[in-house]
């Protein structure tokens, strides 16, 4: 029997009378990868903001396992094990790839840790594992500023991984990537399945096919449909509202 890692119970938020997210409920099981799908303005990113604390809800509740985190501050939610990657990567450009990961792995950074004194062996193992998973072993000594766009995205994802969050929120992780980079990103994310609980907002349907286990389709701030890829592809409400008469392309 699986356990719920993330429970969203009737969450919603209004901006000047406009309901950007309208009474959304969703349960994401431990180790599951959930894709949020929908057109621009459907409320996907706002829902991620509500989960992570960036935006405060006007109704409903959010739970990590059995702990309610509704409207907590972002840093408190992060400390409880929710990590988020935005569309635009944020890394330390003047540091090497490895040093970026070392800094990220220190949950309580200190002057000594940043100077390289006493960096614990378990952290080194986490850094090595993240480098391998992100395919950045050959770039460990390279400055982050010298990486390609795709490599920078992978580095930021690796910086999340070394913090070992229970839940990872990814907002359009393939934005701006080449086809080859998108394929590699799918391989990286598939490597995280079961190790972390993931919620992914994405538009690239080829990418969604590569990673999706269960999909939640949003439309006008509400949940329109939920299910596996085959169920979503043949759902008439989804076809009419988002995918069009030709279905998922």
What is the C-alpha separation between 155 and 140, in angstroms, rounded?
Answer: 10
pLDDT in tens, 131-181: 999 999 999 999 999 999 999 999 999 999 999 999 999 999 998 899 999
Confidence at residue 1, expressed as pLDDT on a 0 to 100 scale: 43
Could you tell me which residue, 197 or 111, shows the higher pLDDT?
197
Could you tell me which residue, 115 or 194, shows the higher pLDDT?
194
Q: What is the DSSP letter of 125?
A: H
CB-count exposure of residue 131 (10 Å: 0-12, 13-18, 19+): buried
Global confidence as pTM: 0.88
**Which option is the CATH number for 82-164: 3.20.20.70, 1.10.10.60, 3.40.190.290, 3.40.50.300?**
3.40.50.300
- How many CB atoms neighbour CB 75 within 10 A? 9
Cβ atoms of 22 and 220 within 8 Å: the answer is: yes
What is the C-alpha separation between 90 and 114, in angstroms, rounded?
Answer: 18
Q: What is the DSSP letter of 200?
A: E
Angle, vertex CA 49, rays to CA 45 and CA 53, nearest 5: 170
From residue 150, give the alpha-carbon distance in Å to each of 15, 21, 61, 187: 34, 31, 35, 13
Confidence at residue 87, expressed as pLDDT on a 0 to 100 scale: 65
Task: Quote the tokens at residue 114.
Answer: 């940043």
Q: CATH homologous superfamily for 1-81+196-249?
A: P-loop containing nucleotide triphosphate hydrolases (3.40.50.300)
Instruction: Write down the mean pLDDT value for the chain.
Output: 89
Helix (H, G, I), strand (E, B) or coil at 62: strand
Mean pLDDT of the region 195-224:
92
- The dihedral over CA atoms of 63, 214, 84, 160, expressed in degrees to the nearest 10, equals 110
pLDDT in tens, 53-95: 999 999 999 999 999 999 999 999 999 999 998 766 689 999 9
Task: List where CATH 3.40.50.300 sits in the chain.
Answer: 1-81+196-249, 82-164
- For residue 111, what pLDDT band results from cuts at 50, 70 and 90? very low
Task: Quote the tokens at residue 219.
Answer: 């439309």
Task: Quote the tokens at residue 137.
Answer: 């072993």
From residue 228, give the alpha-carbon distance in Å to each of 34, 37, 180, 198: 10, 12, 25, 16
């Amino acid at each position: 029997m699986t356990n719920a890692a993330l429970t969203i119970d009737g969450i919603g938020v209004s901006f000047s009378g406009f309901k950007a997210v309208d009474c959304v409920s969703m349960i994401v099981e431990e180790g599951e990868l959930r894709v949020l799908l929908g057109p621009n303005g459907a409320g996907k990113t706002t829902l991620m903001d509500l989960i992570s604390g960036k935006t405060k809800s006007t109704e409903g509740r959010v739970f990590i396992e059995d702990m309610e985190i509704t409207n907590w501050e972002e840093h408190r939610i992060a400390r409880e094990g929710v990590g988020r990657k935005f569309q635009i990567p944020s890394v330390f450009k003047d540091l090497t790839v490895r040093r970026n990961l070392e800094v990220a792995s220190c949950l309580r950074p200190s002057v000594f840790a940043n100077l390289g004194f006493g960096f614990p062996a378990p952290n080194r193992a986490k850094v090595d594992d993240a480098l391998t998973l992100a395919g950045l072993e050959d770039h460990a000594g390279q400055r982050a500023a010298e990486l390609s766009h795709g490599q920078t995205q992978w580095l930021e994802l690796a910086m999340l991984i070394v913090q070992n969050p229970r839940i990872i929120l990814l907002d359009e992780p393939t934005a701006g990537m080449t086809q080859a980079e998108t394929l590699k990103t799918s391989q990286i994310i598939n490597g995280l399945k079961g190790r972390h609980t993931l919620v992914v907002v994405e538009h690239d349907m080829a990418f969604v096919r590569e990673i999706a286990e269960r999909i939640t389709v949003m439309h006008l701030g509400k949940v329109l449909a939920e299910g596996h890829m085959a169920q979503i592809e043949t759902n008439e409400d989804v076809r009419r509202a988002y995918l069009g008469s030709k279905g998922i392309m």
